Chain A
């Protein structure tokens, strides 16, 4: 086993909480977390549903390894139809909340309907109840969590909640747990807000005690941890520098999208890098970085905990921001920094803190600001409309925008719609650096060809976590491929996408895949769950999940025409760096990718493919 074997179904319209046995047949076919929750969603949801309507559903799900000693076994996902994209959304988070839900005896929680008034769900082992959250509505993430702990007189409760961005349905609102871990992307927080659901508070004291072969599991997890410890990335790079180790690396390969993807290298990269975070500041002699931090069960510990410069203009007379706080991670540092041409590390940390405090995705937010800055420089948007002068590089504008987005004050309301809607409204849809409405993360898809294809075909819109080919194309994991090559990339992307779906669904962190392959995951799952979880089966499970997500999107109205990159990446060549002169080779790669996937020319899985995967 190692699944808890039951799920909680909460009907917010009726105010009911009911326990259901987990569909174990589906668990074997879709594993858990991302895969299994998506299976429930696609079975129960009309793909055409309005994401922010009561008819949408939203699921919090753990995997079979969540809540165990498997390294990084603390993950959970939030699965729903996303409001930013209209596609299936699945956002993954670490921290401690996922393990707490599992230890309370639940694999997942499915929410249906819409509560007539703000509520939060409180789970204490087998019992679950909806509690009035009128007093919490309007509160930030940082206020909500302590308020719930105080109310229940239990400091050990874990909370997954939305801040004001989710309440106000910012289309890239996040769900945040443990103050600064987030299911960050695709606007899952907005769906939560649309249902008047403020938080899920959990206290679990039952634990996970149904490992199939405990001794074998302890041996398998110990061996896998040794692999992580011995690997240069997971054993040294990530714990020491965090994901921010990438800032200078990606800049050097000329793949750091800068100023809304006008450039591929940022002269200020060094100022916002891991190295900068560790260097004592001129102002107070202290380094930005305080320490690293692990999520539940994680033996990598890539998380960054930092303190802002108390003399910085962003926090003048705001002592609430002086404490140690999460960040900066690479994607956030890029989106808030390079994407806007801002090289002020402290301003980035401030904006990042607001993303955690108010619960919104720094990637989509930062990239939207990048588009706004370009429109400002073009004269399309003015100081009067924006409330501030907003040229590229303005830390003041970035900080101001971060302060007005969650609450939808002034231009903040438009920022909260994301770059696709915003640029369209002002007549320049080509300036949205997004796929399917979701903004790019921190790697340039015209210079690093594989990641471009991964973005174009990602089931949740542009995303690096659905097929992180950067591992191969830049870091040489598991084998080095050339960023500029298009040949072989469709196969590479497919392999990464399928494996990632299996990693995600097991309840572990995708960062383990810098060191692990499915051959390291399989023995852990076999000891925990059953002999059938071989590498071969896990690969099939991953492919099955990918095709299931794709099929949902097709039925939601997406076609091959949506598997595209912005015009800029297709026609404006990289100006500098090793990839100078290149544009995306998507047109060459995409047909090949469809073929390898067993899809027709319109990007639909063929009957044969669906049948082969048992779909």
Chain B
């Protein structure tokens, strides 16, 4: 079963545990500026929204890379950057419609979410289940269940 990161922004508190877990997993350091998942705070509405790569089926970044540095991990389905191959041309950062692949000055390469090889550190670290790792074909399952409960419980519903 292929799995996907599933984000429920309503549950996000803005603690940034996910960002620290991401940077620790990939660089061995707590450094939110190196995180591949980013929490955006919209202070006028109070909304906090974690955002990262959705692992597009037909990935623009992968298509755009002139040196084939982005490959599909066959087990997780993640589009993974090979740092050995990446030349830091940044074309992928332009092609990605969502902005979730970015250049890293320190390494001279790009970085993006790689699903941590199938055990995403951000999902493990999230204290509120705003980020979960679920069956790719059923990312809507929880929401469906919620609505089913809500509507199915209405007495006299017809």
* Chain A residues within an 8 Å CB radius of B15: 294-299, 301
B residues 21-52 near A (Cβ < 8 Å) are 21, 23-24, 27-34, 43-48
For residue A69, which residues in chain B have a CB less than 8 angstroms away from its CB? Answer: 17, 20-21, 24, 30, 125
> How many angstroms between the C-alpha atoms of A209 and B28 in the bound complex?
7
Residues of A within 8 A of B30 (CB): 67-69, 103, 207-209, 211
Contact of A68 with B14 in the complex, beta carbons under 8 Å: no
Asked whether B13 is an interface residue with its Cβ less than 8 Å from the other chain, the reply is yes
Q: Are A207 and B34 also in contact (CB < 8 A) when A229-B127, A293-B13 are?
A: yes
Residues of chain A in range 213-229 having any CB-CB distance to chain B below 8 Å? 214, 218, 225, 229
Q: A323-B43, A323-B45, A324-B44 are in contact. Are A292 and B31 (CB under 8 A)?
A: no
Given that A225-B127, A297-B20, A298-B15 are known contacts, is A206 also in contact with B31, CB under 8 Å in the complex? yes
The distance in angstroms between the C-alpha atoms of A222 and B12, with both chains bound, is: 18
What chain B residues lie within 8 Å of A298 (beta carbons)?
A: 13, 15
Residues of B within 8 A of A103 (CB): 30-33
- Beyond A294-B13, A296-B16, A299-B17, is A324–B29 a contact (Cβ under 8 Å)? no
> What A residues does B43 contact at CB under 8 A?
179, 323-325
Chain B residues whose CB sits within 8 angstroms of the CB of A205 once the complex forms = 31, 33-34
Q: Which of A96, A204, A229, A296 has the most CB of B within 10 A?
A: A296
Interface flag for A495 (CB, 8 Å): no
Chain A residues numbered 291-336 whose CB sits less than 8 Å from any CB in chain B: 291-299, 301, 305, 307, 323-325
Choose among A69, A205, A208 the residue with the greatest number of B CB atoms under 10 Å from its CB. Answer: A69
Q: Which residues of B contact A225 (CB under 8 A)?
A: 127
Q: How large is the interface on A (under 10, 10 to 19, 20 to 34, 35 or more residues)?
A: 35 or more
> A573: shortest Cβ distance to chain B, in Å?
43
Bound CA–CA A309/B128 (angstroms)? 29
Give residues of chain A (52-71) contacting chain B, Cβ–Cβ below 8 Å. 67-69, 71
Evaluate contact between B16 and A297: CB separation under 8 angstroms.
yes
A18 at the A/B interface (Cβ < 8 Å)?
Answer: no
Q: Report A161-209 residues with CB < 8 Å from chain B CB.
A: 179, 204-209
Which residues of B sit under 8 angstroms from A96, Cβ to Cβ? 16
Q: How far is the CA of A209 from the CA of B33 in the complex (A)?
A: 13
Is there an interface contact between B29 and A208, defined as CB atoms closer than 8 Å?
yes
* Chain B residue contacts of A292, Cβ below 8 A: 13
Task: Contact check, B33 vs A156: say whether CB atoms are below 8 A apart.
Answer: yes
**Among B20, B21, B23, B29, residue most surrounded by chain A Cβ atoms (within 10 Å):** B20
Residues of A within 8 A of B29 (CB): 207-209
Interface string of B135-157 (1 = CB under 8 A from A): 00000000000000000000000
A133 proximal to B (CB < 8 A): no
A278 to chain B, nearest CB (A): 14
Please indicate the chain B residues that have their CB under 8 angstroms from the CB of A214 in the complex.
24, 28
Q: Which chain A residues border B46 with CB–CB below 8 Å?
A: 290-291, 293, 305, 307, 324
| B20 CB, min distance to chain A CBs, angstroms | 5
- Check A204 against B33 for contact (C-beta < 8 Å): yes
| Shortest beta-carbon distance from B82 to chain A in Å | 24
A50 to B31, CA, bound (A): 40
Which residues of the partner chain A approach B45 to less than 8 Å between Cβ atoms? 290, 323-324
Q: How many Å from the CB of B33 to the closest CB on chain A?
A: 4
Q: A323's closest neighbor in chain B, by CB?
A: B44
| B14 contacts A294, C-beta separation under 8 Å | yes
Contacts of A293 in B (CB 8 A): 13-14, 46, 48
Q: Measured between alpha carbons, how far is A325 from B46 in the docked complex, in Å?
A: 7
How near does chain B come to A212, taking the closest CB pair, in angstroms?
Answer: 13
Task: State the CA gap A69–B121 with chains docked (Å).
Answer: 12
> In this complex, what residue of B is CB-closest to A68?
B30
**In angstroms, how far is the closest chain B Cβ from the Cβ of A6?**
17
- Interface residues in chain B, defined as those with a beta carbon under 8 Å from any beta carbon in chain A: 13-17, 20-21, 23-24, 27-34, 43-48, 125, 127-128
* Among all A-B residue pairs, the 7 with the closest Cβ atoms: A207-B31, A209-B29, A324-B46, A323-B44, A294-B15, A294-B13, A301-B13
- Known interface pairs A293-B14, A297-B16; 11 further A-B residue pairs with C-beta atoms within 8 A, sorted by A's residue number: A68-B20, A69-B20, A96-B16, A103-B33, A205-B34, A207-B23, A209-B29, A239-B13, A297-B20, A299-B15, A324-B43
20 pairs from A and B in contact (CB 8 Å cutoff): A67-B30, A68-B20, A69-B20, A69-B21, A69-B30, A71-B127, A179-B43, A205-B31, A208-B30, A211-B30, A290-B46, A296-B15, A297-B15, A298-B13, A298-B15, A299-B15, A305-B46, A323-B44, A324-B43, A324-B45
